[in-house]
Amino acid sequence: MKLIIGLGNPGKKYELTWHNVGFIMLDHFKGSRPDDYLACKKSTKFQAEICEGEIGQEKIILAKPQTFMNNSGAAVSALANFYKIKPQDVWVIHDDVDLPQGSLRISHNASAAGHKGVQSIIDALGTQNFVRFRIGIKPEGENKIPTESYVLQKLSDQDKMMIVNLGPEIVSAVELALLDGVTAAMNEFN
């Protein structure tokens, strides 16, 4: 069983911001295979929106924590504990301000590198031994806006198009990791 987390902030105010790229990509993944999911619901018990389903022989849980980014670990650990999912079977899709816009990097057992949502998960799980699908959001050119403000900026129409165009690559990367393993996905997409 895999727990696939999309990171973001709940609410309309944050819906189309850089920090919500994880939510956007998880929705894209779910939308690419609508018949694979049995139930989608908001769960107060897990502080997350969750969908359960299967791809191939693998049972998966898709989740969007509703705890705000910096407290994502609370929802992730609650889900992992309830479903008895090992940290290495937790996969997190999130924004990364250190990667070029529109790029994808898959990493495993890596530090948070300043990402507070990822650090929250590391703290809650007690390990960094989980998989991350990192979506590059680094601003092009010189950016004088503090990171905390930049990640909460609304996406421009051009940014939205770039994210939409990246969606199929994320779907392919996650599916390859599910079917052939994370190493195969890293070799293909990094």
Which of 78, 77, 70, 95 is CA-nearest to residue 6?
Answer: 95
Whole-number Å distance between alpha carbons of 128 and 172: 24
DSSP secondary structure string for all residues of the chain: -EEEEE----SGGGTTBGGGHHHHHHHHHHHHSGGGEEEEEEETTTTEEEEEEEETTEEEEEEEESS-GGGHHHHHHHHHHHHT--GGGEEEEEEEEEEETT-EEEEES---TT-HHHHHHHHHHT---SEEEEEEEEPSS---S-HHHHTTSBPPHHHHHHHHHHHHHHHHHHHHHHHH-HHHHHHHH-
Is 115 catalytic? The answer is: no
Catalytic residue among 19, 28, 94, 115, which? 19
Known catalytic residues? 19
